[in-house]
Structure 1
Amino acid sequence: MDEHDRDDDSGADRLRRARRGDEAAFESIYREHARAIHALALRLTGSPAAAEDITQDTFLRMFGFLSGLREDTPLRPWLKRVAANLAIDRLRRERRYSDDDALLQALDGNAAPATVAEASGLLRRLPPLARTLVWLHEMEGWSHEELARRFGRSPSWSKSILSRSLARLREHLEPAEDDDEHA
Structure 2
Amino acid sequence: MSNTEIGRRFATGGEDEIEEIINLYGEKLLRYATVMLCNYQEAEDVVQEVFLSAYQSRATFDGENLSAWLYKITYNRSLNKLKRRRVFYFSEIRDEVLSTAEDIGLSDEILCALRRLKPKERALIYGRIMEGQSYEELALLFGRSPATLRKQYERAKKKLAGYLTAGYYGKESNQT
The TM-score, its normalising length taken from structure 1, stands at: 0.57
Partner of residue 66 from structure 1, selected from 58, 81, 88: 58
Aligned-residue offset at 1:55: 0.5
Could you tell me whether the CA contact under 8 Å between 2:11 and 2:59 is conserved in 1? no
Aligned residue in 1 for 2:49 = 57
Aligned residue in 2 for 1:15 = 10
What percentage of residue pairs aligned between the two structures are identical? 15
The DSSP-based 3-state class of the residue aligned with 1:126 is: helix
Given the superposition, is the C-alpha separation of residues 126 and 48 from structure 1 closer, same or farther in structure 2, using an over 3 Å criterion?
Answer: same
- Could you say what the CA RMSD is over the residues aligned between the two structures, in angstroms? 3.5
Aligned-residue offset at 1:10: 4.8
Given residue 38 of structure 2, which amino acid in structure 1 is its aligned partner?
Answer: G
Partner of residue 135 from structure 1, selected from 111, 122, 143: 122
Larger radius of gyration: 1
Aligned-residue offset at 1:119: 5.2
Aligned residue in 1 for 2:36 = 44
Aligned-residue offset at 1:65: 1.3
Q: Deviations over 1:13-56 (max 9, x none)?
A: 531442xxx21121111111111100101111121111110110
Could you tell me whether the CA contact under 8 Å between 1:124 and 1:131 is conserved in 2? no
The DSSP-based 3-state class of the residue aligned with 2:62 is: coil
| Aligned residue runs from structure 1 range 119-134, under 5 A | 121-126=108-113, 128=115, 130=117, 132-134=119-121
Aligned residue in 1 for 2:166 = 171
Separation in structure 2 between the aligned mates of residue 51 and residue 77 of structure 1, nearest angstrom: 18
Listed as ranges, the gaps of 5+ residues in structure 2 are 91-104, 128-134, 144-151, 169-176
Listed as ranges, the gaps of 5+ residues in structure 1 are 1-5, 103-117, 148-157, 174-183
Separation in structure 2 between the aligned mates of residue 61 and residue 168 of structure 1, nearest angstrom: 36
Separation in structure 2 between the aligned mates of residue 57 and residue 8 of structure 1, nearest angstrom: 21
Given the superposition, is the C-alpha separation of residues 40 and 12 from structure 1 closer, same or farther in structure 2, using an over 3 Å criterion?
Answer: closer
Could you tell me whether the CA contact under 8 Å between 2:33 and 2:43 is conserved in 1? yes
Paired residues, what number?
132
Aligned-residue offset at 1:96: 4.0
Higher relative contact order (CA 8 A, sep 6+): 2
Could you tell me whether the CA contact under 8 Å between 1:134 and 1:166 is conserved in 2? no
